[in-house]
Amino acid sequence: MNRLVGKEVFYYESLDSTNEYMLNRAGTLDEGSCVFCDFQSKGRGRQGREWLSLNGKGLYFSFLLKPKISLKEIPRLTISVAIGISKAFDSLGIKTMVKWPNDIYLNGKKLAGILSELKILDGNNVVVGVGINLLHEKGDFPEDISRKATSLLIETGETYDRRQLLEVLLNYIDKEYVFFLKRGIDIEYFNRKDFLFGKSATYKGEKVLVRGISRDGFLIIESGGTLLEINSGEVEF
């Protein structure tokens, strides 16, 4: 298999966090190296949140990229990874949506999240971590999350094999990464799968409408008849 992302895949039963593992080895491992595990004792999510990493219930993996892009392009890279993941699910007949900036939704609930972290050594080392809910049943999620989260088992009734699913995901993420380096975000695909499109949000205390994303990966909102491009920290849904 001649792919970059996932050219080497390491497996552990348990790690503190697959992102932490990769960040610690960014200087010695090749671009494309990937690690996955069954359980994370300190799985982390975006904005300092914890990522629930129940033993054997989810697919928790991270891979290392060394793109020659500027810092401000990293959010776009993460969107491309989300697109690759969504295309992988399409190939399995699972109709996911992409929620800007980097979540995967299925039937209106969050199925997967992505956390990109950067380490600058002699160049950019971007660790992209992905958590996918596979075998969770409704009662496995804490009450505050259960209204918003779902798993492949809950939505499809099927038990997906972690290793096989990881292979499919890595193949699609790899293709999307190659596309991204040449041409950027596959915006046509994103527009077809945009979970937030047309939804209302709050920006600076005002109600606005989501109108899509720009090629640079900003969210486009409509506020009082004007279109604005904004960053992820600036808006609430």
Rounded-to-integer distance, Cα 20 and Cα 42, Å: 9
Rounded-to-integer distance, Cα 109 and Cα 155, Å: 10
Q: How far is the CB of 68 from ligand BTN (least distance, A)?
A: 24
Beta strand extents in the chain (DSSP E only): 9-15, 34-40, 58-65, 97-99, 103-106, 109-120, 124-133, 200-203, 206-213, 219-223, 226-230, 235-236
Nearest Cα residue to 130 out of 10, 25, 195, 35:
35
Residues near ligand BTN (CB under 6 A): 17-19, 40, 43-46, 49, 51, 60-62, 103, 113-115, 129-131
Tokens representing 115 are: 């956390």
Of residues 40 and 96, the one with the C-beta less far from ligand BTN: 40
Determine the residue with CB nearest ligand BTN. Answer: 113
Q: How far is the CB of 47 from ligand BTN (least distance, A)?
A: 7
Q: Strand, helix or coil at 194?
A: strand
Q: How far is the CB of 22 from ligand BTN (least distance, A)?
A: 8
Q: How far is the CB of 42 from ligand BTN (least distance, A)?
A: 7
Q: How far is the CB of 41 from ligand BTN (least distance, A)?
A: 10
Task: Tell me the helices (H) and strands (E) count for the chain, helix number first.
Answer: 6, 12
Of residues 104 and 221, the one with the C-beta less far from ligand BTN: 104
Q: How far is the CB of 36 from ligand BTN (least distance, A)?
A: 8
Of residues 45 and 67, the one with the C-beta less far from ligand BTN: 45
Q: How far is the CB of 34 from ligand BTN (least distance, A)?
A: 11
CA atoms within 13 A on the CB side of 81: 28
SS3 per-residue string spanning 166-188: HHHHHHHHHHHHHHHHHHCCCHH
Rounded-to-integer distance, Cα 35 and Cα 220, Å: 34
87 phi, psi to nearest 5 deg: -65, -35
